Each structure stands twice: as structure tokens, then as C-alpha cells.
């Protein structure tokens, strides 16, 4: 009997994904000069496409040139040349996968040394304890800035379609701008964008409508949403259920569920979780399977999946798509390998660092180290020490920061 992993999935937009495995978004921080995709990203995405996933979702692409999650981030706005993005889409689709561009605005989750802007629904800095001052002090967004942000998302989606991508995923998770608006902790506004959940969800809903109106009917639109923030008094599973219901009439194809933020880095596997979810690797499965029972939209689950039996159990729990990030950073051929060896798995040593913020940063640095090796045609090296990977990351970031600052100054302000 064939595995459910390798059955197709038809979407509302008319697209048919060839199987139920998706390469989930990971922030590569691998832009070429000009904050554009280049040869390293093309090579990396060819590897993923050849590896057998049915869907590839890019690392987050920034909609605002002055607001990046990291200095080597890719920007697609009204001024970006389209040709590099056409090459990126072609590389990602070369093995038969569908490819969606994840589009994002970091809001307040930017480092204090970054040029540009740090915007948020309210002027509340990210709280990561003693490391909080490494993050920028944000300013509260004006109504004009909110409306301009809606337009930026729509512009990026329209240009992604023109470049040959099959869809976009709006990033409203992991504590970035749209997630900040959804959170009653980060969003303490008293106007039409604050207060009850319907108001806090207004920016996400307006962006979704604007994108759907800007692209063709067969272009997929997905939303990445936290199943929970894992913070007392924050965005929770009941909120996620309501937001999914609000998104359902707007032409959304898939909702991807993850969890956490910089303040509670569950997306890197360090959230509080019961033994059942930890044992099965899928960090958010309990919450996601509950949401899937009532969801009017297909659900994709991402977070910690390393083995085929776990992926099959996720699908058996009512989830429609299995998202994998770290596993495919270590072994981009894993989906094809699973066809002939159901027991094949990726094994990574746990990160034993007490400080959650540092542990999360080191874990992400270890993943990006693998991505850069793949992008330059080398084999991955999962045994790299997380602190060593973090040190390399800081050196890479220093050079990228100088390059980004010079590029932004030459380009001029766009606020």
C-alpha cells in the first residue's frame, strides 16, 4: 500500500501538489549584492527540487527594503529587478515541485544595529531578558504606514507571480509584524487595529484581500500562522481557530501552523510541550490536529519532523501537508530516500545551552551553515558545533551588514 505522503493534494486555486511533503521556509540570509537571489540560492533550491518534495516555500522575502530580519535578506519590492527572481523560480521548479514565495515584514523583530526602521503595532520592545537591548526599540505604526504596508505586500505578491512563482505565503507567525498585530501582548492599540481579535486580525485580512485582488485566480495564497505563541496571555489556539475562520472566505489555499517567536522560540523546538508531542518530534501536532478538525481550510504543519513514520502520523491526525525545514537542510534528498527506505532519518544532537535566546540563535545558525554549504555545492555537515556555526554566522553577518547599509544608503529612503 503506498504511503499517504506520496498522494497528490488539489488546492482551491486549481493547483495540484504532487505529494504531501513541503520544504518549509527557513531564513537563509544568503542574498547576493543588491538584496537579490543569486547563484548560491539557485543551487540550493535546485537541490531541494531534485530531492522530491511536492512544494517548496522560500525563506522569507522582505516586502520593505528598510525592514529586514537580517542583513543578507532578499527584498522584492517595486524597484527590484525581476530577472533574478525569474531564475530563482526556475531553479526551484526544476525538479517538478511547486514553489511559493514566503513574504514578510519583521516589524519590531530587527536587531538594534540594523539600519532602516523598526515598526510595531505598539512601541514595545521584544523581551528576551538580558539580551533585549540587542533588539531595536520600535515605534508605533501610523495609519499611513499600515496602509503602505498592505500595498507593499500586494506589490511583492504581484511581482512574485510575474517572476514565475506558483504562489505566496503571507508570514503571520513567529513574532513578525503580522503576528505582532495578532498578539494582545505586542498589540495594545485602541484604534481599529487593536483590542478585540477581529481588529487585531484586520491587517492580515486586509493584506490577504489585497493580494488576492492583485494576482490571478490560479495563483496560490497561503498564510503561516502560529497555533499559539506559548506566552501567558498571548495569541492562543482559540485565537488561531477564529483567524482561520476569518481567512476562509478570502481565497486562501492553505494555512501553515507553527508556533513561537523570539520571546518564546518554539519554532526551534524549545517550547513547553507534552511528552507525546516531543516523542513524536512534531512540536505543534496536538494543537494543530485539534485545529484541523474544525478548519475550513487545508492545514500544513511544520516543526521538528525528521522521520517518515512521524510524517505519516501527522497526516493520519487530519493534517493535509507536512512541512519540514531542518531535516531538508541536512538532507535535501530525504523525500526521495523515504520512498525506498522508510526508516531513513536525520539525527541532530540537541543544543545544550541554558539561555533560550542564545540556544535558538545557535540552532538557526547551525541550519544556515548547512544551507550555505549546499548553496556552494558541498555536502552538509550536521556535526558542526552550534557555537562554531554561530561564530561563523556572526562573521558572515558583519560583512552582510556593511553591504546592506551601503546599498540602502545608495537606494534612498522608502518610508
| Residue 225 CB burial class (10 angstroms; 0-12, 13-18, ≥19) | buried
- Residue 316, all three cell numbers: 493520519
Arch. (CATH architecture) of 4-411: Alpha-Beta Barrel (3.20)
Q: Residue 203 has what pLDDT?
A: 98
pLDDT at 283: 57
- The pLDDT assigned to 114 comes to 96
User: What is the model's pLDDT at position 357?
Assistant: 75
pLDDT, mean of each 10-residue run, the chain (415 residues): 90 95 96 98 98 97 97 97 98 97 97 96 91 93 98 98 98 95 96 97 98 97 84 81 96 89 51 40 74 93 89 93 95 96 90 82 93 96 93 95 96 70
> What's the whole-model pTM score?
0.93
Neighbouring C-beta atoms of residue 92, cutoff 10 Å: 28
**pLDDT recorded at residue 234:** 76
Map out the domains of the chain as residue ranges: 4-411
Q: State the pLDDT at residue 264.
A: 56
Amino acid at each position: 500500500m503506498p504511503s499517504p505522503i506520496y498522494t497528490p493534494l488539489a488546492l482551491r486555486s486549481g493547483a495540484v501538489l504532487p505529494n504531501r511533503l513541503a520544504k518549509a521556509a527557513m531564513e537563509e540570509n544568503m542574498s547576493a549584492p543588491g538584496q537579490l537571489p543569486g547563484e548560491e540560492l539557485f543551487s540550493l533550491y535546485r537541490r531541494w527540487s531534485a530531492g522530491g518534495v511536492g512544494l517548496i516555500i522560500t525563506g522569507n522575502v522582505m516586502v520593505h527594503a528598510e525592514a529586514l530580519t537580517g542583513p543578507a535578506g532578499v527584498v522584492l519590492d517595486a524597484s527590484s529587478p525581476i530577472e533574478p527572481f525569474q531564475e530563482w523560480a526556475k531553479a526551484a521548479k526544476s525538479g517538478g515541485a511547486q514553489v511559493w514565495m514566503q513574504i514578510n515584514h519583521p516589524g519590531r523583530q530587527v536587531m538594534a544595529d540594523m539600519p532602516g526602521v523598526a515598526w510595531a503595532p505598539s512601541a514595545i520592545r521584544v523581551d528576551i531578558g538580558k539580551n533585549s537591548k540587542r533588539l531595536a526599540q520600535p515605534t508605533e505604526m501610523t495609519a499611513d504606514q499600515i496602509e503602505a504596508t498592505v500595498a507593499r505586500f500586494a506589490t511583492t505578491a504581484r511581482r512574485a507571480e510575474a517572476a514565475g512563482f506558483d504562489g505566496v505565503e503571507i508570514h503571520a507567525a513567529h513574532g513578525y509584524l503580522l503576528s505582532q498585530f495578532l498578539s494582545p501582548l505586542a498589540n495594545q492599540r485602541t484604534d481599529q487595529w487593536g483590542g478585540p481579535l477581529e481588529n487585531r486580525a484586520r491587517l492580515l485580512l486586509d493584506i490577504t484581500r489585497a493580494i488576492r485582488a492583485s494576482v490571478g485566480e490560479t495563483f496560490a495564497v497561503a498564510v503561516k500562522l502560529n497555533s499559539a505563541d506559548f506566552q501567558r496571555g498571548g495569541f492562543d489556539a482559540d485565537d488561531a481557530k477564529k483567524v482561520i475562520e476569518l481567512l476562509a472566505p478570502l481565497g486562501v489555499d492553505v494555512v501553515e501552523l507553527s508556533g513561537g517567536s523570539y520571546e518564546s522560540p518554539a519554532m526551534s523546538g524549545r517550547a513547553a510541550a507534552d511528552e507525546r508531542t516531543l516523542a513524536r518530534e512534531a512540536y505543534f501536532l496536538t494543537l494543530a490536529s485539534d485545529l484541523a478538525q474544525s478548519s475550513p481550510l487545508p492545514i500544513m504543519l511544520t516543526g521538528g519532523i525528521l522521520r517518515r513514520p512521524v510524517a505519516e502520523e501527522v497526516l493520519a491526525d487530519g493534517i493535509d501537508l507536512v512541512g519540514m525545514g531542518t531535516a531538508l537542510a541536512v538532507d535535501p534528498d530525504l523525500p526521495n530516500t523515504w520512498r525506498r527506505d522508510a526508516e531513513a532519518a536525520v539525527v541532530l544532537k540537541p543544543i545544550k545551552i541554558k539561555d533560550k535566546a542564545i540556544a535558538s540563535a545557535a540552532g538557526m545558525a547551525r541550519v544556515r551553515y548547512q544551507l550555505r554549504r549546499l548553496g556552494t555545492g558541498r555536502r552538509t555537515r550536521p556535526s558542526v558545533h552550534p557555537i562554531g556555526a554561530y561564530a561563523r554566522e556572526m562573521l558572515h553577518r558583519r560583512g552582510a551588514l556593511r553591504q546592506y547599509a551601503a546599498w540602502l544608503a545608495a537606494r534612498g529612503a522608502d518610508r
